[in-house]
Each structure stands twice: as structure tokens, then as C-alpha cells.
Homo-oligomer: A and B are copies of this chain.
Amino acid sequence: MVYINGQYLDDENALLNVTDMSLQRSYAVFDFFRTINGLPLFLNDHLDRFYASAAEMFLPVAIKREALKQVIHTMILQDGRPEIGIRITLTGGLSPDGYQPATPNLIIQSKPVVVASEANYAKSIRVLSRQHQRELPHIKTINYLMAVWLQPWLLAMGADDVLYCNNGLVTETPRSNVFMVTTDNKLITPNQNMLRGVTRKNVLQMAAQIMPVEERDISLEELSGAAEIFISSTTKRIMPVVALDGKLIGNGKPGQVTDQLYNLFRQLETESLNQVIQ
């Protein structure tokens, strides 16, 4: 189901005019969260970021936070499936000249979501580093041009994901944040030139209860010598990285600290579920 500017529509009727600034100039922001048992996960964090992204892009959001929650509540009920993904997109609107933003269009989609399984976790992922700095990285825009463009390359290289680096410093993967566990058992994650993930935030808070945590620059070289590496995202939760540029990390299997954080995160998920309307 799709909500567009106040109307609830079937997927096939969820249409937007081609003069929209998303299609004309890729000018739009979004956010994405999932539900468990019909309850949204980390909803307030996602709404905080959505409104912040809109403001950073000079796009007014016509709907207030509580009314937006009501729409989300309605969509989850109407959809009926207990585990779905909800994407909220705000575009630059229908531009008369195809360059100046106009009145934003608000689009909310509910759709099936594929979440990493225990088997995916056990299999873990292999990543390749690549020099690339996303534009406006702190804003969750729709720009995944490079990420989608790199997919044939990743497939050809037999890798699962690309790790972006900016002048030798690790930043993020296209849809996840990256973490390393040092040999002396600290958790470290980059703190600039990347998107501040909601899962990242919650992993950091959670991990700080059990180990030292640092947000700071990480060079590719330092990462390569990590005891453990993992990435975090809404659909991957915590996903071990067992090879970087062809070099095995640790013994090539998920590490002990990653296992521990993963188990804690699964508990946190369950504890964090709130009714949308309270």
C-alpha cells in the first residue's frame, strides 16, 4: 500500500507526475524502518532523522509528527502483515522548470522486507574497499547512483558489498555503517563523512554498557588489522564482515564480540517495540 499526500492507494495506483524533482534532478529524501509483530522498530529515531533530512534539504514537511505517526499506524493496520518495511519519501515536488523545488510530495510505502537471517549472519559478508565520497553524506537523500552502478562490479568480483573510503579513511557502505573491534577489545566506528544510521546509534548505546566505545577516524590500514569487523543497518542488524579486500578478518568467521553484540541487539529489538500511538 502507498500513501501519497493524504491518499491511501494500491501499489499499482501509486503514481507521480514525471515533472517531480526526484525524477528530474534526484532531489528527494527518505527514511526506512521495519515492523516486528506490527510494531515499528526505533520509530522515533527514524522520524527524527526524516525531519532533519527534510530540513537540511530545505523541504518543508506539511504533516506534523503526530499526524505522520497516525498515518504510519493506519498503514501498518491496513497492510496487515506483521513484518514489513515502511519507506517515507519526501520529494522536491512538481517543478515548473525542472530545477527549482516546489511543494514537496510525501510518499509512504509499506512493503515486504527481507531481514538478514541467522544463516545470513553465519555466512557473513566479504567487502571490497573503494574510494568514493557520497555527496551530502549526513542527509538521507535518494542518491544511491554509485551503489547501484557498482553492483555488476561487486558481482564480478564475488564480493557482497563495497566499503567507501575517503582519502584512506573508511566511511560507510552504501546502506550500512561500519564498526571494528580492536585487538584490545574496543569498539570503534567512523564519525564523519557518513550517514548516522539509526542501528548505528542503538548499537553504540548498547555496546557502551559492556566495552569502551570510540567514534573517530579509521584508516583502511587500521581496519584491515581489526580483530573483528561488522556493519549495521535496519535490515542487516549486525552483520559480520569476514574478509576485506580479499584478506580474512580474524579467523574468517564471526567474532566473539560481534556474536555478543548481535545477541544483545536482538534483545534490544524486542524491548524497543512501542505502539505507534501511545
Contact = CB atoms under 8 A, between A and B. Distances in A.
A92 interface: yes
Q: For chain A, which range describes its interface: under 10, 10 to 19, 20 to 34, or 35 or more residues?
A: 35 or more
Given A25-B142, A26-B141, A26-B144, 5 more contacts: A16-B17, A23-B89, A100-B151, A135-B145, A135-B146
Copies per complex of this chain: 2
A144 B135 CA distance: 11
10 closest Cβ contacts across the A-B interface?
Answer: A26-B26, A15-B15, A25-B144, A22-B23, A14-B18, A26-B143, A27-B148, A26-B142, A135-B146, A25-B148
A97 B149 CA distance: 16
B12 A17 contact: yes
A199 B12 CA distance: 40
Interface string A1-45: 010100000011011111111111111100000000000000000
B19 A16 contact: no
Contact of A149 (B14, B20, B57, B152): B57
A143 B107 CA distance: 20
A27 to B, nearest CB: 5
A98 B87 contact: yes
A211 interface: no
Interface of A: 2, 4, 11-12, 14-28, 57-58, 87, 89, 91-92, 97-101, 107, 109, 111, 114, 132, 135-136, 141-149, 151-152
A162 to B, nearest CB: 13
19 contacts: A4-B18, A14-B18, A15-B17, A16-B16, A18-B89, A18-B109, A22-B23, A23-B23, A23-B91, A23-B142, A26-B141, A27-B149, A58-B149, A87-B98, A100-B151, A132-B135, A136-B149, A141-B145, A143-B143
A245 to B, nearest CB: 21
A89 B97 CA distance: 16
B15 A107 contact: no
Nearest to A135: B146
A23 B28 contact: yes
Contacts of A16: 15-18, 23
A222 to B, nearest CB: 24
A56 to B, nearest CB: 9
Given A92-B148, A100-B151, A135-B132, A19 B28 contact: no
A99 B151 CA distance: 10
